[in-house]
Amino acid sequence: LTYFRQISGQWTKEIVWDNSFSVWTQDMALDANDSPHILLVQDNSIYHSFKNGSNWTINTIPLPYESGEISVKMDMYGNPQFIIPANVGLHYGYRENNTWKMQAVGGASGYPGHDNDWALVNGQYPCIAYYDQVLYSLRFDAQDTSSGGLRVSNSGPVEMNENAIFKASPIKGCNQR
């Protein structure tokens, strides 16, 4: 895995992980210090690579299921959060007290595929839009901030008659919660 960045108009190349294996999917986000956090999926694991001073650190997050494309965002505290579709539904992952946690998103059934988008409201609370391929509906889920927990609550389906193709920005719906 190689990371490229531009410094003073010159491109530099850093080897993050000197290991030849096929990567299924990856995504990257920068924290408040412009340090990269790369999440990549290979086999049944997510690998979180990030800069620790001048060195790269790699943590492994086990996945107990087949998964699809990962999407990562940095929260206001500098922690990566991600969503990942799987053959058992859509999942949301986050770091809490240096421990990775994952949970199923609301009513995602079957394999929600790649038709999803999300945002962090106020840099902290996930708001997720996705197409439920079993119920043939567009769904929006958001974190229940009233409980103070990291529970994702289902806001229910939006009826649709055709396959959904969307690039959702679910911020409006989440700000009203």
pLDDT (tens place) for every residue of the chain, 177 residues total:
788 888 899 998 988 887 666 667 788 999 888 889 999 888 788 889 998 888 899 888 888 777 778 889 999 888 899 988 877 778 888 888 888 888 877 655 555 545 778 888 888 888 887 777 766 677 777 776 555 444 444 555 554 444 434 444 444 445 433
Question: Tell me, what amino acid is at 43?
Answer: D
Q: Which two tokens stand for residue 66?
A: 């087949």
Per-residue confidence (pLDDT) for residue 72, from 0 to 100 = 92
Query: Taking the CB of residue 145, how many other CB atoms lie within 10 A of it?
Result: 16
The pLDDT assigned to 43 comes to 76
Contact assessment for residue 68 and residue 53, using Cβ atoms and an 8 Å cutoff: no
Q: Residue 149 has what pLDDT?
A: 42
In angstroms, rounded to a whole number, what is the distance separating the alpha carbons of residues 64 and 90?
13
Distance of CA 134 to the CA centre of its chain: 22
Backbone angles phi, psi at 93, to 5 degrees: -125, 150
DSSP code, position 162: S
pTM: 0.76
